[in-house]
Structure 1
Amino acid sequence: MDERSVGSVPAGVRRTARARRTARRLGGLLAAGAVLLCTAALPAAAAPAAPAAADYPATMTIGTVTPATAGENGTVTITGKVVNAGRDPFKSAHVGVRAPLSGKKPLGTRSEVATVADRSTPTGTDGTDVPNLQIQLGDIGPGQSHDFSIPVTTADLELAKPGVYELAVDVWGTAGGGHERVLGIARTFLPYSVEATPKQTQVSVVWPITHAPELVAQTMPDNDQTPVLRDESLATELAPGGRLHQLVTTGATLPNLTWAVDPDLLDTVYAMTRPYRVQKPNTTGESARDDNTVPGVGKDAATAWLALLRTAVATAGHEVVSLPYADPDLASIAHNGAGLPGVETALRKAATAGRLTTEGRLSVDVKSDVAWPYQGWLDQRTAATARMVGGRLVLVDGASIPESDSLAYTPGAARPIGEGQTAVVADPTVSALFQSDLKTAEAKTAAVQRFLVETLLITRQMPEQQRGLLVLPPRNLTADTAEALATAVQKAQQGGWIAPAALHTVAAAPADPEAGTTVPDGYPQALAASELSSAELGKTTSVQAGLDKLMLILTQPQRVRGPFSAAMVRSMSTEWREQSKPGTSYRQGVQKYLDNLTAAVRVPKKSEITLPGDNATLLISVKNDLNQAVGNLELRLVSTQVNRVNVGPAEPVVLDGTTSRTFRFPAEAQVNGSVQMTAQLWTTGPNAQRYGEPVTFMVEVTSVASGVLYVIGGGVVLMVLAGIRFYLQRKKHAAAGDADGESGDDGESGDGADADAADGSAEHGGGEAPDADPASALDDADRVAGDEKVGH
């Protein structure tokens, strides 16, 4: 017997069995109604509990509904699968389609649709099985499954009026003994006999073309500055079958689409169209070399994808929105970046660079007045930060700006929120349908059918007034989910109740005075947990200070400034919200690489130096491991005890790439012993500052010439002796004069001559000079200083 054939069971048998089942159900409904009447006055807690899931061991899914929208006297084919998730086998299992209780009155509100969608177990409100229609499945053992396909006409479903209906499929049989009963149910929705609406809802779909940052600050040390990527994941996504490739091909099929593009992704793809390199694992932060990188393999895929994207975005009616360069995390910056130097400047530059990059890479006009906070959640501080990047329009999830409970319809998407900004608010229910990865046919069908009925009901709420609706999928929109979203939009457009429109068209619509416009002050704790912290943002912005210092000494600063400036913004990308560990690794790599570049120009470490004399030369080396020349530097050598060892002035430093040079500092020592010296590089100019780490070492003075000390000591002794002799002679002459009563010229003259001779001997080293010749001692000291050259 063909299990898929309705005619496989005799009509009389089907009618008799169906009649018995229908009678049992009606009896059950009457009994349930009696219970409700008896318990109406009881507290809610006393109400009967819902049946346990174990009572319904069948797991049912609906794979396809064809067509997705049914016409009058049409036939709808439902396919799906039944899985025995219980412990007992299903005996004589068969599948049926329920005619909805709302057949004569369709579901009229979105809340009624939500109520149906929230049901988890079979209830009488799902309707009754269509008479004479069942598909026999036979026995199904535990863990086994069985596919089904059921064609059903709209007449069988007793659909009387155009509108939205529940479409339910259930499975019957016996499990674990007992009588035949319902074992499980699956539900979806069906729009029926809908005519085109004069005022179709304008639906704008944002199509994200984004990817986590891949380009690192490093470039290869060649004339072409070959770019370097952190991994090769992007090449896979760009290739046919990859996520980004599928997004472009799918998006190209939709009319009036809004492409939200990260300019950094365009730069990265463009870099991949030329030779590029990829970092090897565990080499983050190292300078790029042949031994720690491998050649990239995505050139052909990148070239083809970029051409594909250019063609797609150039389609008439399509709109391109340029996000700020590298898509910085506006909410993280708003909440944790206040007061950090350079943040505002970086954001403004990111906005300008984003527009110029997107226009240049895609050769189309772009809009750069759109801000997209993470998951569309907006608060007051994030709105202010969005204004910094020129965010006149802000993409917002409807959960962030909720509607009043008293509002009986869905208002338009455009909401003025003050300060010249307009929030374009996405419907939270519709957008939520496409947040996850819809890999299976069942998941896609569920999302498509729900989208159809939600948008249909929105349009039918106020059929004479056109409104705008925003659909905001996640940044990491998957290929499968994009396919489902495109299918939903196309089928709703074919149904005649929506009209695809660009974002700026929807944003320009007159604002509904009843719509919510209050931007909250708070931010959800769950979202705050994934933000970049103040410490992480602080480390990122501090890179700029180190970069500025490095720029002062480079002769080709442009080779470093551009890659680092871009890497700093990439460090704050919104993409890291979903990839926390790679984001941390990326930021650490930028800082480590800057540290390595800065340390490449340095004074090598020195050990203790012996200075065997009072006059010598200290030799200090400076090394440049960069691949370009450096200048605007000077080397300063400072003694901690200048009264013991003093050195010459600072030396200007100019070095070619990958070279080193030794600088000579004359040193004068006064006494023996150890003296600490510090060698430090400084930038030159009006705002001179230390560059790199200081190098401290000890100088040991061991042989200050002794003759110098002898000359000094001898001179002092002679002067003292001369003074004593002069004093004694004057005293003697005074005594003689007193005895004679007068003094003669001859005697005075002779004594004066002797005194003068004595003074002259003291001044010139005559008379009682020390044994060592002062001139010979100084010559020896000079000779020692001349022969000994100390330093490295």
Structure 2
Amino acid sequence: MPVRQHQARPPRPPGRVVITLVLTLLAPLLLMLSATTLAAPAGAVDDVEETDPLAVSIDELDTVSLDGRTKGRITVRGKVSNTTEEEWAGVNIYPFVGNTPITTSAELAEAAKLPADALVGERIVAEGAYAKVPDLEPGETYSWSLTVPRKLLQITEPGVYWFGVHALGATTPTTADGRARTFLPLVKEPNKKAKAEKVSLVMPLRRSVVYDADGSVSYLPGWTRDLRAGGRLYRMLETGAEMPSLTWAIDPALIDAVRNLAEGNPARNLAPTDGPEESPEESGGQSASASASALLPSPSPSTDADADAEEPIDEETKAAQKAATTWLNRLEDAFAGHDLLALPYADPDLSALATSDPDLLASAREQTSQVLAELGIKATPAAAPPTGYLDRAAVNLLEPGAVNLVSDRMFRGTAPVVADLDGHEMIVTSSGAAAGGPGPNDFLDAISVRQRLVAEAALLRGSGKPLVAVLPDGWHPPQDAASFVAPWNEAAWISSSTLTEAVAGHKATSVAAEKLRYPRREMRAEISAERIRTANELVGAGKMLQRVLTHNDEVAADILNEALTTTSYSARRGYTDAGADALSYVGAQLSSITVDVPPKVILSSMKGGEFQVSLSNELDEPVTVRLDAMTDESLRVATSEPVQLDANSKASFNLAASMRDTGTHTALIVVTDTKGNPLGAHASVPIRPSQVSGVIWWFVGTGCALLFAAIAVRLTRRIMKAKKARTSGEA
């Protein structure tokens, strides 16, 4: 029988206890001194967590579970790294196994939360069952492998057991210097008629998508890292291609972004797009699954002169382009034979939009239908919030006939297999299965996620309930998909099922609204109403830009897609408002169509006259706009007919104006789209009539009349006086 040693930490030296006590007593005094004399900021010193000097990982485990037999072997592979600045010698990797089975999902959840140094199993030190590691220099990593005979595990009762490895150095023969842990279920076959446990896995194909203000995809290095062969998104496709009966939950915004990268990540396209449409025969029609020809962007025709004028692509963009093309070529195989669910475009925050802007949510669903139809992908509409929660408003807006996935944490008490709230059905998924494994390793690494899934499935066996699990968004797919999936396929007690197969025979259980949970942390995390308003303003600006561009009928949809990405679940943790940046950029483009007016206008008469204005188009594409005027009641300026301007051109024409009274009035000349919506550019001009007022002419006429009358009177008097003088002289 092999010798077993318990995992334990050595007792703390008495001196350290005394020091800790003294520091505890002096802490208030030290804090006072630091606040008054040193003025140190609060929280300047953080507690330093202890870390293992040897970092250990489990990368491969050639079985997902055990049965009651004691025959066979278990092979485990992984890595060990020296995280210290000293050389480590005589390191051995020992397997360990728990001796008490975990029998409920609640116990499993509590076990996953145990600290890394908790005593959870006994180390197996039998010769040949452990791996020897050569001397490790600081920072050096070594790949280890060990094989454990099944009989050494000595577990027979059904349940879930701790399983993992300890790394021990030569100077620490009893204390683990590094640990890696996971779960390993033991599943007995009571008889040959025992039913396999139905397990339905959903793999979301979504990622944070952020666009720069000009419409190009942001942060290319991250995309290159994820999309290239060996990258996270690429490994997801490889794993999906190997998995049986997998369901994909697709965000079309991710595919759109990758296609944009494959095109060289161009900025938003304002060029003409209203050419003749392809017939179904020319385009190849719509297929049931994605095809490489539809997914990969087609080169746009261009002349040699245009090709010479194009700016050279930088190395960062080239790398992203290559990685995107590689990924798109793999996508078709990954989707083949699997059920496809279609998330609303950009995977928007359903609860936030349901409350603040249901119309924007409807637009997201319409965009999904349109994009997937263009790519030849047939998928069932779906909702699958990453957190698993929907509030009542979001539930009320679920699409009829859609597949809606929510977490069992959303229900108070025992969650049903399928829930029905006022006619809205929701398939309930396992929060435990999506939670991943225990520390100290990454709880979302490949083995941790797989073993937590099978552990939850094993605990459900015999209950009649299926396991429906949505893989967590941040999980790390395996480096070797085949070796990861093979043990899953070999487990006869697991029946990989589609969602339809998994819930077959389970009628929807009616639930009351009071039974639903929507935590406050979810409400606090929702996309803000301000960001949703900004997204709506960006959508409106996109529609306006399309009306202005004479020959472009696609830019509004492009900008809508960009706006939707700013309302996604992934945007909840974003620190920058890409929507506001894009809105400012599009606004600047619209404002680049300007109007010039004369310093002042003098009309030839109050009844009417014309004055000249000039329009300038600084965009590289032709536009169609109108001019409108904002005036008071005494001045009227006619609105212009739509005016077409060539790219980077200027045109002049006359506007008619008329006035009701005298004086100077100001007209604000505004550039608008064809529907009269202001674009941003404007100019003001003072206008007055050139004729003198009628009152002034009355005064002038009256004055002249009086003058002539006075002259006539004086002449008459002189004549009369002269005549009288002559008459008197004769007498």
For 2:403, the aligned partner's letter is: L
Matches of 2:344 and 2:459, distance apart in 1:
36
The one of 388, 391, 395 aligned to 1:383: 395
Shift of the alpha carbon at 1:600? Answer: 2.9
Matches of 2:400 and 2:574, distance apart in 1:
27
Question: Does the CA contact (< 8 Å) of 2:420 and 2:508 recur in 1?
Answer: no
The aligned residue for residue 301 of structure 2 is none
CA separation of 1:194 and 1:557: change in aligned 2, threshold 3 A? same
The aligned residue for residue 401 of structure 1 is 411
Pairing of 1:197-236 with structure 2 (within 5 A): 198-213=194-209, 228-230=216-218, 232=220, 234=223
Pairing of 1:176-255 with structure 2 (within 5 A): 181-183=174-176, 187-192=181-186, 194-195=188-189, 198-213=194-209, 228-230=216-218, 232=220, 234=223, 237-255=226-244
Matches of 1:248 and 1:84, distance apart in 2:
32
Pairing of 1:263-278 with structure 2 (within 5 A): 263-270=252-259, 277=266
CA separation of 1:65 and 1:623: change in aligned 2, threshold 3 A? closer
Matches of 2:144 and 2:665, distance apart in 1:
89
Question: Does the CA contact (< 8 Å) of 2:438 and 2:448 recur in 1?
Answer: no
1:429 match: secondary structure: coil
The aligned residue for residue 359 of structure 2 is 345
The one of 426, 433, 453 aligned to 1:430: 433
Larger Rg: 1
Matches of 1:436 and 1:263, distance apart in 2:
34
Matches of 1:324 and 1:57, distance apart in 2:
46
Matches of 1:618 and 1:515, distance apart in 2:
71
Q: Return the structure number with greater relative CO, CA threshold 8 A, min gap 6.
A: 2
Question: Does the CA contact (< 8 Å) of 1:324 and 1:354 recur in 2?
Answer: yes
1:558 match: secondary structure: coil
Given the alignment of the two structures, is residue 310 of structure 1 paired with residue 332 of structure 2, yes or no? yes
1:619 match: secondary structure: strand
The one of 575, 585, 603 aligned to 2:595: 603
1:240 match: secondary structure: coil
For 1:661, the aligned partner's letter is: A
Question: Does the CA contact (< 8 Å) of 2:670 and 2:683 recur in 1?
Answer: no
The aligned residue for residue 704 of structure 2 is 717
Question: Does the CA contact (< 8 Å) of 1:641 and 1:675 recur in 2?
Answer: no
Segment of structure 1 superposing worse, 251-260 or 230-239: 230-239
The one of 366, 372, 379 aligned to 1:366: 379
Pairing of 1:569-584 with structure 2 (within 5 A): 569-581=564-576, 584=577
Matches of 1:699 and 1:664, distance apart in 2:
14
The aligned residue for residue 453 of structure 2 is 451
Pairing of 1:481-500 with structure 2 (within 5 A): 490-500=486-496
CA separation of 1:293 and 1:727: change in aligned 2, threshold 3 A? farther
Shift of the alpha carbon at 1:695? Answer: 1.7
- Give the alignment's Cα RMSD to 1 decimal: 5.4
Matches of 2:129 and 2:630, distance apart in 1:
96
Matches of 1:650 and 1:138, distance apart in 2:
85
Shift of the alpha carbon at 1:253? Answer: 0.8
Question: Does the CA contact (< 8 Å) of 1:676 and 1:696 recur in 2?
Answer: no
Matches of 2:655 and 2:185, distance apart in 1:
91
Shift of the alpha carbon at 1:680? Answer: 1.5
Give the unaligned 5+ runs of structure 2. Answer: 12-48, 269-306, 721-731
Query: 1:123-172, CA deviations, whole angstroms, 9 ceiling, x for partnerless residues?
Result: 77735756778869799999799987654433333334565444465577
Query: 1:371-406, CA deviations, whole angstroms, 9 ceiling, x for partnerless residues?
Result: 122422222123234x2x5574322223233544xx
For 1:695, the aligned partner's letter is: A
Pairing of 1:542-561 with structure 2 (within 5 A): 542-549=537-544, 555-556=550-551, 558-561=553-556
Pairing of 1:6-155 with structure 2 (within 5 A): 64-70=60-66, 71-78=69-76, 100-102=98-100, 106-114=101-109, 116-120=111-115, 126-127=121-122, 151-155=147-151
The one of 655, 663, 667 aligned to 2:644: 655
Segment of structure 1 superposing worse, 79-88 or 565-574: 79-88
TM-score, length basis structure 1 = 0.64
Matches of 2:71 and 2:523, distance apart in 1:
53
Matches of 1:138 and 1:211, distance apart in 2:
38
Matches of 1:125 and 1:691, distance apart in 2:
68
Question: Does the CA contact (< 8 Å) of 1:77 and 1:149 recur in 2?
Answer: yes
Shift of the alpha carbon at 1:305? Answer: 3.6
Matches of 1:559 and 1:123, distance apart in 2:
59
The aligned residue for residue 368 of structure 2 is 354
The aligned residue for residue 6 of structure 1 is none
Query: 1:339-382, CA deviations, whole angstroms, 9 ceiling, x for partnerless residues?
Result: xxxx4333223323312422431x343211x1122422222123
Given the alignment of the two structures, is residue 622 of structure 1 paired with residue 609 of structure 2, yes or no? no
Matches of 2:51 and 2:623, distance apart in 1:
79
Query: 1:68-117, CA deviations, whole angstroms, 9 ceiling, x for partnerless residues?
Result: 54553223345667789899999988776557544xxx544344545554
CA separation of 1:197 and 1:149: change in aligned 2, threshold 3 A? farther
Given the alignment of the two structures, is residue 591 of structure 1 paired with residue 583 of structure 2, yes or no? yes
For 1:393, the aligned partner's letter is: V
Query: 1:703-747, CA deviations, whole angstroms, 9 ceiling, x for partnerless residues?
Result: 988999689525543158649979999xxx9xxxxxxxxxxxxxx
Shift of the alpha carbon at 1:252? Answer: 0.8
Shift of the alpha carbon at 1:431? Answer: 0.6
Query: 1:725-784, CA deviations, whole angstroms, 9 ceiling, x for partnerless residues?
Result: 79999xxx9xxxxxxxxxxxxxxxxxxxxxxxxxxxxxxxxxxxxxxxxxxxxxxxxxxx
Shift of the alpha carbon at 1:667? Answer: 8.1
Matches of 2:636 and 2:510, distance apart in 1:
81
Matches of 1:349 and 1:89, distance apart in 2:
60
CA separation of 1:417 and 1:547: change in aligned 2, threshold 3 A? same
2:535 match: secondary structure: helix
The aligned residue for residue 39 of structure 2 is none
For 1:594, the aligned partner's letter is: V
Question: Does the CA contact (< 8 Å) of 1:204 and 1:469 recur in 2?
Answer: yes
CA separation of 1:197 and 1:534: change in aligned 2, threshold 3 A? farther
Question: Does the CA contact (< 8 Å) of 2:404 and 2:426 recur in 1?
Answer: yes
Given the alignment of the two structures, is residue 564 of structure 1 paired with residue 521 of structure 2, yes or no? no
1:358 match: secondary structure: helix
CA separation of 1:512 and 1:88: change in aligned 2, threshold 3 A? farther
CA separation of 1:99 and 1:561: change in aligned 2, threshold 3 A? closer
For 2:404, the aligned partner's letter is: V
Shift of the alpha carbon at 1:473? Answer: 2.1
The one of 330, 346, 349 aligned to 2:350: 330
